[in-house]
A and B are shown apart, each in its own frame.
Chain A
Amino acid sequence: MNILRAIATRIATTLVTLFGVAVIVFVVIRVAPGNPIAMMLPPGASEEDIARLTALYGLDRSIPEQFVIWLGGVLQGDFGTSISLRQNVLTIVLGRLPATLELSLLALGIAIVLGAALAFVATRWRETPAEAGVDVVNGIALSVPDFLWGLALILTLGVAWPIFEISGRVSPTLDLPFVTQFYLVESLLRLRLDITLNLLDHMIMPAVALALPLAAVIAQLLKASLKETIRQDYVMLARTKGFSESRVILHDAMRNALLPTLTLTGVQLTFLIGGTVIIERIFSYEGLGNLAIDAVINRDLPLIQGIVILFAVLFVGINLAIDLLYAILNPRLRHG
């Protein structure tokens, strides 16, 4: 019974958070100086034209009135029309979302593999220079943000030794026979591996840049957790059976240390997704973040609102999912 009430409270606070985000975005961008309608029309437009278009977008009403109208629309799935692109906001945003999701998930995968590998090296060769080396790498990866990693990668593997593509999501000359925007997934399903490779060629560097700080966090937590685990009886037992130290760490210790570590990195995942905004800009990757920056520069109010709300839904959704997962996995919380 207790857990149901905890879940209900948690979902209620999530809704309050989303409402707070909606209010803040709505108010902040309406306080902005500069008339977005005036930017849409040619310089010689008459006062009446401006007034007519302002009324069409509902911008002549008071801010609370606009908010109620907008919120009513949002609850029915209507996010309005983009001023700069003159298209339905939801259509545009959902069209760009897959690109950002694929990039984020690729980065997450790289972060987990890299973090686990670093933790493994530090545990397998503990108290040797290898462990000290991993600590130094972790320290650097943690204090340097994705923005700088992205630029450093462009310079090294993009320009000095041109191995990977430095801009875009896929080569424009390529003919894409796809029905969804999930290019990477669809190219794999259709076995168009030439396209998969081309996509990865574009995505590897931004994904690694996003992954590095998270990989360091995972490596640190996992290393601490492994240090505990390798002293447990069942790991000792595996060792006395004569299995090699590497096998004992990978097969016995890692399995039990990995899951708790990953549930602790939930907030970090939202940081990773937040990082896509600037990383997509650096790599001219056509995702949601790049679109968001354009929307801000063009003062496209409905589009900005739509994108920020979508990011917020994504973030609180991830946090909610991880909390619930944690409650289910942890028996102490379940009965607490």
Chain B
Amino acid sequence: MAEAVLTRRRRRSWRLILSGGWLGLVVITAIFAPFIAPHDPLAQDLLLQRLPPAWMAGAEPGYLLGTDGLGRDVLSRIIYASRVALTVAFVAAPVACIIGSVLGLLAGYYGGWVDQIVSRIVDVWMAFPPVLFAILLVAVIGTGLHSVILAIIVIDWIRFCRVVRAEALVQRRMDYVDSAHIVGLTRAAILVKEVLPNVLPAIVALLSLEMGIAVIVEAILSFVNLSISTDDPTWGGMIAEGRTIIHFAWWVLVFPLIVLFLTVLAFGQFGEGLKDRFDPVLQ
């Protein structure tokens, strides 16, 4: 048994190292994009259209991952696009997390009319297909990075709210809450000092997962051409272009897709790894 727990823990720490390593790489790439990117991501050259990656016949040296339909360097665009993806992840997800967690804690811990109102709002939100909701909001607010971030916050706070509310409901009935009452702590104090720390592991794991979701939502909005302007590189925008010329230049789709895939996977696995690290049973 102890052996099994040990191997499991070893597997878990590998998960944290691999996913954390990839995310660190993406963050560094985003920060130092101008120094790393071999070309200007916006520079078009119609003589260099749809060049294949460097290891294929007909490639041009200096264009490692080939060029897109307008002769722009795919690698440089992927590198610059990581800035948009990470901005969305690190701004939208934490704000959604704070709003959703606060409402979830209040609803789950206090119950009563607070819970009634919050739960009804969550019901309404759950009745929308989230992708359609996002597209609708961005179409209404106007395209641009701000709208994308705002739309993700407006839609995804309920993910946190649902999970945190359920956790708070469980915690509320725990003995330690009663003990805190007897000692004379106020309800607000118990909520912040006792309940919140116990709910925190679930929130942290969800936050990491949500960062991945935010990256995906941005990519989807770029894919339907509703994110930032079409010239500026985004992974979703590159994928959308690659989808249309898939039979002539597969590399325009493949490389941003792989990066997006790994990033989203890493956010999810990183969150799971963190959750296990906090889990007292596996400690």
Contact = CB atoms under 8 A, between A and B. Distances in A.
B220 interface: yes
B141 to A, nearest CB: 8
In the A-B complex, the 6 residue pairs with the smallest Cβ-Cβ separation, listed nearest first, are A143-B268, A274-B129, A20-B124, A312-B127, A32-B140, A17-B123
Interface of A: 13, 16-18, 20-21, 24-25, 28-29, 31-33, 139-140, 142-145, 147-148, 151-152, 154-155, 159-160, 166, 267, 270, 273-278, 281-282, 289, 292-293, 296-297, 299, 304, 307-308, 311-312, 315-316, 319
A70 B274 CA distance: 49
Interface centre among A21, A25, A278, A297 (most CB of B within 10 A): A278
Contacts of A18: 127
Interface centre among B124, B239, B246 (most CB of A within 10 A): B124
Q: Chain B interface secondary structure, helix, strand, loop or mixed?
A: helix
A47 B277 CA distance: 66
B223 A143 contact: no
Q: Chain A interface secondary structure, helix, strand, loop or mixed?
A: helix
Contacts of A312: 127-128
Given A21-B124, A144-B264, A296 B216 contact: no
Interface residues of B, number: 41
B206 interface: no
B55 interface: no
B62 interface: no
A157 B206 CA distance: 33
Given A139-B272, A159-B246, A277 B131 contact: yes
Interface string B240-272: 000100110010011001001100110111001
Nearest to A307: B132
A144 B137 contact: no
Contacts of A281: 223-224
B89 interface: no
A151 B267 CA distance: 19
B265 A144 contact: yes
Nearest to B264: A144
B216 A145 contact: yes
B264 A148 contact: yes
B216 A147 contact: yes
A273 B118 CA distance: 24
Interface string B210-238: 00110010011001100000000000000
Given A270-B126, A316-B123, 17 more contacts: A16-B123, A20-B120, A28-B140, A143-B265, A147-B216, A147-B219, A147-B223, A151-B243, A155-B250, A155-B254, A155-B257, A267-B126, A274-B129, A277-B131, A299-B139, A311-B132, A316-B127
